[in-house]
């Protein structure tokens, strides 16, 4: 089934950013085509270019006019904890009273309070709230969404979360097992819990519910030595690996993750010069989460230094009920521009090409190039208004695999 999308005033294909593998992006790498058409065949881009160059064979096919609006690739949200139960708004107030993330966790709050609520919730209840979150993401132009477990902290509840994630079909979902997110409440010591996770990995693999695995490398959570063992075992089972690292303290998490061939290193707030050098020459994608930094009031990552040294970067909301209770991509992009000095082209590339690498989906999504999935958003105004007017959505229509999911 062929559809020709026409009357696109500006089409940001991101082809240049894709060719540069998401590194050192400039405005010209947005690769904008004026007066464009896109030919979609069975959900894939078969042809894209200036309308006046549309090959004859596509004349007379089904046409959809995008009425002079602008188009860019669907956004790729590469790091979320979207499936959870409960509410932690009171913690937000505690933060203003000067309590730190660690102090809130020690007082029984933090990740473990979400774990208690999530364990109690049925699959159906989790699905209900997850679908609400998915709808919020779709309205923001997200067509690929990563979802982590990590609020179950035992095999049964971790699999329950991953199962809910797998059931969603309204956009592309990538699932990530995050058993090593925090110590399970019933474990006497984190090392004991960690050993049980290593054993659980076999069952996670067997369930086919997880596409990849993640670990929180941090003081009082999991050590980089443990991460090394976790990565090794996960990779022997065929999983790709990623890490939450250097978020609250400096550590050798970046070195261990890159040495082990992690696909992405996420957060990266506390970096030393040697970490920046390492990240900029490695294949890893650096995932920045400025809204978590904003909510936690911690230093932003050294984005400028990383980008200028050649690192590939992505942006994410980290949507979760604790450190980043927002799904607002516009807000993330605005903070990246305002506080991390990323320019608009870098932000657009980070949400598309960069994030597609973070999910090992660079051949499938992230740019509007021939052969890729026809995932794109139609803007109500000019693309320069993106990541600028917070609270006002610029997204008018969303197409996933060539089909309209939102108008």
Least separation in angstroms between CB 176 and ligand NIG: 12
Residue 247 binding partner per list Fe ion, ligand NIG, none, with a CB distance cut-off of 5 to 8 Å that depends on partner kind = ligand NIG
Q: Which residue, 151 or 239, has its beta carbon nearer to ligand NIG?
A: 151
114 binds ligand NIG, rule: CB under 6 A: yes
Short-list 302, 305, 405, 395, CA closest to 351: 395
**112 vs 260 by CB, closer to ligand NIG:** 112
Among 32, 71, 292, 379, binds ligand NIG (CB under 6 A): 292
Q: Going by C-beta distance under 8 Å and a sequence separation of 6 or more, which residues neighbour residue 242? A: 176, 212, 213, 214, 257, 262, 263, 264, 265, 266, 358
Q: Judged by CB under 6 A, which of 275, 293, 318, 346 binds ligand NIG?
A: 318
Q: Which of 141, 152, 322, 325 binds ligand NIG (CB under 6 A)?
A: 322
Select the residue interacting with ligand NIG from 133, 258, 320, 356 (CB under 6 A).
320
Task: Tabulate helix, strand, coil % of the chain (nearest 5).
Answer: 40, 25, 35
- Cβ atoms 146, 176 nearer than 8 A: yes
User: Cβ of residue 247: shortest distance to ligand NIG, in angstroms?
Assistant: 5
* Site of tokens 């695995």: 213
Q: If contact means CB under 5 to 8 A according to the sort of partner, which of Fe ion, ligand NIG, none does residue 322 touch?
A: ligand NIG
In angstroms, the CA 84 to CA 130 distance is 8
Binds ligand NIG by CB under 6 A, chosen from 11, 40, 66, 111: 111
Largest Cα–Cα separation, the chain: 70
| DSSP result, 102-143 | HHHHHTT-THHHHHHHHHHS-HHHHHHHHHHHHHHHHHTTEE
Contact footprint for Fe ion (CB under 5 A): 318
Strands (E), 101-247: 142-148, 172-177, 212-217, 240-245
Which does residue 323 touch among Fe ion, ligand NIG, none (CB within 5 to 8 A, set by kind)?
A: ligand NIG
Nearest residue to Fe ion, scored by beta-carbon proximity: 318
Instruction: Give the H/E segment covering residue 277.
Output: helix 273-281
Nearer to Fe ion, 318 or 346 (CB): 318
| Rounded Cα gap, residues 359 and 266, in angstroms | 12
DSSP assigned state of 74: P
Q: Restricting to residues 65-104, which ones interact with ligand NIG according to CB under 6 A?
A: 81
* Least spacing, CB of residue 1 vs ligand NIG, in Å: 40
Supply the Cα-derived Rg of the chain in whole angstroms: 21
- 64-69: Cβ within 8 A, 24+ apart: 64/3, 64/4, 64/5, 64/6, 65/6, 65/7, 66/5, 66/6, 66/7, 66/8, 66/378, 66/397, 67/7, 68/7, 68/8, 68/9, 69/8, 69/9, 69/378, 69/379, 69/380, 69/396
Task: Find the part of the chain contacting ligand NIG (CB under 6 A) among 41-49, 107-115, 343-351, 376-384.
Answer: 107-115
Smaller CB separation from ligand NIG, 250 or 381: 250
Q: Nearest approach, Cβ of 112 to ligand NIG (angstroms)? A: 9
Between 13 and 247, CB nearer to ligand NIG = 247
Work out the number of other CB atoms within 10 angstroms of the CB of residue 89: 8
Asked if 323 is part of the footprint of ligand NIG (rule: CB under 6 A), the reply reads yes
Shortest spacing between CB 107 and ligand NIG, in angstroms: 14
Q: Which is nearer to ligand NIG, 197 or 395 (CB)?
A: 197
- The span of 168-176, 317-325, 350-358, 393-401 binding ligand NIG (CB under 6 A) equals 317-325
Q: Tokens 């097992």 — which residue?
A: 177
The listed partner (Fe ion, ligand NIG, none) that binds 205, CB under 5 to 8 Å by sort, is none
- Provide the minimum distance between the beta carbon of 110 and ligand NIG in the complex, in angstroms, as a whole number: 6
Q: Which is nearer to ligand NIG, 13 or 323 (CB)?
A: 323
> How does 196-205 read in b/e, with b if 16+ C-beta sit within 10 Å?
ebbebbeebb
222 binds, among Fe ion, ligand NIG, none (CB under 5 to 8 A by kind): none
- Which residues bind to ligand NIG, rule: CB under 6 A? 81, 110-111, 114, 216, 244, 247, 292, 318, 320-323
């Amino acid at each position: 089934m062929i559809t020709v999308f026409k009357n696109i005033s500006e089409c940001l294909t991101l082809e240049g950013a894709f060719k540069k593998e998401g590194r050192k992006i400039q405005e010209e790498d947005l690769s904008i085509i004026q007066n464009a058409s896109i030919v979609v065949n069975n959900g894939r881009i078969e042809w894209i270019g200036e309308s006046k160059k549309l090959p004859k064979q596509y004349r007379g096919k089904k046409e959809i006019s995008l009425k002079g609006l602008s188009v860019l690739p669907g956004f790729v949200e590469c790091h979320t904890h979207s499936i959870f139960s409960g509410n932690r708004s009171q913690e937000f107030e505690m933060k203003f009273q000067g309590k730190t993330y660690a102090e809130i966790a020690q007082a029984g709050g933090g990740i473990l309070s979400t774990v208690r609520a999530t364990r109690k919730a049925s699959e159906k209840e989790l699905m209900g709230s997850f679908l609400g979150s998915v709808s919020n993401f779709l309205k923001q132009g997200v067509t690929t969404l990563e979802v982590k477990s990590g609020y179950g902290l035992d095999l049964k509840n971790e699999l329950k979360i991953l199962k809910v994630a797998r059931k969603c079909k309204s956009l592309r979902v990538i699932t990530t097992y995050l058993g090593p997110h925090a110590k399970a409440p019933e474990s006497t010591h984190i090392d004991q819990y960690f050993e049980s996770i290593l054993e659980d990995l076999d069952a996670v693999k067997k369930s086919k519910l997880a596409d990849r695995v993640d670990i929180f490398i941090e003081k009082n959570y999991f050590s980089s030595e443990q991460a090394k063992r976790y990565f090794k075992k996960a990779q022997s089972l065929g999983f790709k690996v990623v890490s939450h690292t250097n978020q609250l303290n400096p550590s050798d998490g970046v070195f261990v993750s890159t040495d082990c061939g992690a696909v992405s290193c996420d957060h990266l707030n506390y970096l030393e010069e040697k970490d920046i050098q390492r990240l900029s020459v490695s294949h890893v994608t650096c995932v920045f989460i400025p809204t978590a930094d904003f909510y936690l009031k911690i230093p932003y990552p050294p984005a400028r230094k990383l980008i200028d040294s050649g690192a590939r970067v992505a942006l994410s909301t980290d949507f979760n009920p604790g450190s980043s209770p927002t799904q607002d991509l516009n807000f993330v992009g605005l903070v990246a521009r305002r506080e991390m000095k990323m320019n608009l082209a870098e932000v657009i590339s980070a949400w598309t090409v960069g994030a597609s690498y973070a999910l090992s989906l660079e051949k499938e999504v992230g740019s509007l190039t021939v052969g890729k999935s026809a995932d794109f958003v139609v803007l109500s105004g000019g693309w320069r208004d993106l990541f600028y007017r917070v609270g006002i959505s610029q997204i008018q229509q969303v197409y996933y695999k060539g089909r309209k999911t939102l108008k």
